[in-house]
A and B are shown apart, each in its own frame.
Chain A
């Protein structure tokens, strides 16, 4: 038996994989800077990334308006899954470092979501820098702001979780000129759509006389007319990303919006949650009922109120004790002989009484 248990434990131990942190990633989310789980490993499992990190802002950044920010990751060798997690932050302290704390809003992240932390898979190598675009809404108050780009990734050999952060990249956010043609502050672009469906987008603009949309199709740029502030992007046949931007003309200087991205994706997995919850409850009740229905046979029942055996056993023990005590010979009027103990009397008292009866004592 012991050998079987040891073999089983050895098989279990050998079937585990050696890895650190979160090799499969943690998923895109709004996250502060963290260790990607490597804080649970030994210090030998952590390392400082050698990646060169950079953030590029447009020339003019106006308060409260949308801008396109480019991030670049170079000189980095990663694990076999070619994944890097990158985070936009406002400080390197690991606390209160979300862009939203300074008034930034991530409108579209490189994966089509609205998170400050995204995981991207690409051909990362020491020779091949990887660029990604973010669409941000600048803080509403003019001033000088800064952003950091932090990364976390594995190593080609595995076993070490690397993390790194860029130097601060500052940008001057200016007051918006009064007559500047622009998109309304409350307008949000569409980030995702399903396959095979056209996408009609309604623009909300300010100080704008006319607008034109440019759609990037590979290297080709297609101009799409805007009618009544609406335009339509053709349906996507395959999953992928298309980019578009709007050229706004009015009394002020002509403005181009950032390139917005719409990700066409397969419809997600859906389930009728009501049916799922009902089935869960049904399984719960049915399993409980079926187990309880396996009622113990009469001979198996140990009834709490049936103490017959216990009482009988107790009585028999008491009787035995009484019987044992009664075996002790009666003590004569003069008491037990001098120098005797009660234990001696119990054993030899009978003989003494017989001698007394014969008048020998």
Chain B
């Protein structure tokens, strides 16, 4: 067996590598440069990174010292990675629905990649004490009240359901 820390390193590198590749491919899509395969690379790499993301999150929580989430960096990592994963899933489903890979689509993909890379950068600061994200307010955590989160969850489910129904029709 390997420790949660080692597994977290493996899953994190897998996630970040795939997301970084996807980000470069989305950049090429936005610039309309590079080979035709850029669209396929962007989306397949995003899907690969997305699959590895839950493993990275779970192993990261298990590997963190102390009990639970006791550091603002960890809380922000959780929020950012889930936001990034949401955007990534949205991009993939939107593409599956037949959307063209235009500047808006590529921009959302790059935003997802950017959030995930920011998450990784904060992980580096948490474990090694060093970061390039000097001006990002990493120590500030904005937590919604419970009722607001529940409302947002319901809203999100409603939007997803509506989109699914419209797509089927």
Distance in angstroms from B54 CB to nearest chain A CB is 11
Does A22 have its Cβ within 8 Å of any Cβ on chain B? Answer: yes
Q: Which residues of B in the span 102-118 have a Cβ within 8 Å of any Cβ on A?
A: 102, 104, 108
Contact residue among B94, B152, B162 (Cβ-Cβ distance under 8 Å from A285): B152
Does A359 have its Cβ within 8 Å of any Cβ on chain B? Answer: no
Distance in angstroms from B95 CB to nearest chain A CB is 9
CA A304 to CA B166, docked complex, whole Å: 16
| Among B75, B85, B149, residue most surrounded by chain A Cβ atoms (within 10 Å) | B149
Binds B, one of A71-79, A173-181, A234-242, A266-274: A266-274
Distance in angstroms from A30 CB to nearest chain B CB is 11
Known: A19-B130, A270-B70, A271-B75. A289 touches B149 (CB 8 A): no
Are A296 and B83 in contact, CB atoms less than 8 angstroms apart? no
CA A292 to CA B99, docked complex, whole Å: 10
**Across-interface contacts of B104 in A (CB, < 8 A):** 294
Interface residues of A (CB under 8 A from B): 15-17, 19, 22-27, 29, 268-296, 300-304
Contact residue among B98, B108, B146, B149 (Cβ-Cβ distance under 8 Å from A296): B98
CA A16 to CA B131, docked complex, whole Å: 9
Are B69 and A283 in contact, CB atoms less than 8 angstroms apart? no
Are A303 and B98 in contact, CB atoms less than 8 angstroms apart? yes
Are B160 and A25 in contact, CB atoms less than 8 angstroms apart? no
Q: Which residues of B in the span 75-113 have a Cβ within 8 Å of any Cβ on A?
A: 75, 78-79, 82-83, 85-87, 89-91, 93-94, 97-100, 102, 104, 108
Are B89 and A288 in contact, CB atoms less than 8 angstroms apart? yes
Chain B residue nearest to A278 (CB atoms) is B149
What are 15 residue pairs bridging A and B, where the CB atoms are less than 8 Å apart in the complex?
A: A29-B65, A271-B141, A278-B149, A279-B79, A284-B83, A284-B86, A284-B156, A288-B160, A290-B159, A291-B90, A291-B93, A291-B94, A294-B104, A300-B100, A302-B100
Are A269 and B70 in contact, CB atoms less than 8 angstroms apart? yes
Known: A22-B128, A269-B72, A289-B160. A295 touches B78 (CB 8 A): no
Are B146 and A278 in contact, CB atoms less than 8 angstroms apart? yes
Are B141 and A291 in contact, CB atoms less than 8 angstroms apart? no
Known: A284-B86, A287-B83, A293-B163. A276 touches B70 (CB 8 A): no
Interface residues of B (CB under 8 A from A): 65, 68-72, 75, 78-79, 82-83, 85-87, 89-91, 93-94, 97-100, 102, 104, 108, 127-130, 132, 141, 143-146, 148-150, 152-153, 155-160, 162-163, 166-167
**Across-interface contacts of A288 in B (CB, < 8 A):** 86-87, 89-90, 93, 156, 160
**Across-interface contacts of A22 in B (CB, < 8 A):** 128-129
**Across-interface contacts of B152 in A (CB, < 8 A):** 279, 282-283, 285-286
**Across-interface contacts of A19 in B (CB, < 8 A):** 130
Distance in angstroms from A88 CB to nearest chain B CB is 19
| Among B71, B93, B99, B166, residue most surrounded by chain A Cβ atoms (within 10 Å) | B99
Known: A286-B159, A289-B90, A289-B155. 7 other contacts (CB 8 A): A275-B145, A282-B149, A285-B159, A289-B156, A292-B93, A300-B99, A300-B100
Are A275 and B149 in contact, CB atoms less than 8 angstroms apart? yes
Chain B residue nearest to A302 (CB atoms) is B98
| Among A23, A271, A295, residue most surrounded by chain B Cβ atoms (within 10 Å) | A271
CA A282 to CA B167, docked complex, whole Å: 22
Contact residue among B75, B83, B129, B156 (Cβ-Cβ distance under 8 Å from A25): B129
CA A301 to CA B95, docked complex, whole Å: 10
Distance in angstroms from B158 CB to nearest chain A CB is 8
CA A61 to CA B108, docked complex, whole Å: 66
Contact residue among B78, B102, B143 (Cβ-Cβ distance under 8 Å from A272): B143
CA A286 to CA B144, docked complex, whole Å: 14
The 5 closest A-B pairs by CB, nearest first: A24-B129, A291-B90, A285-B156, A287-B86, A289-B159
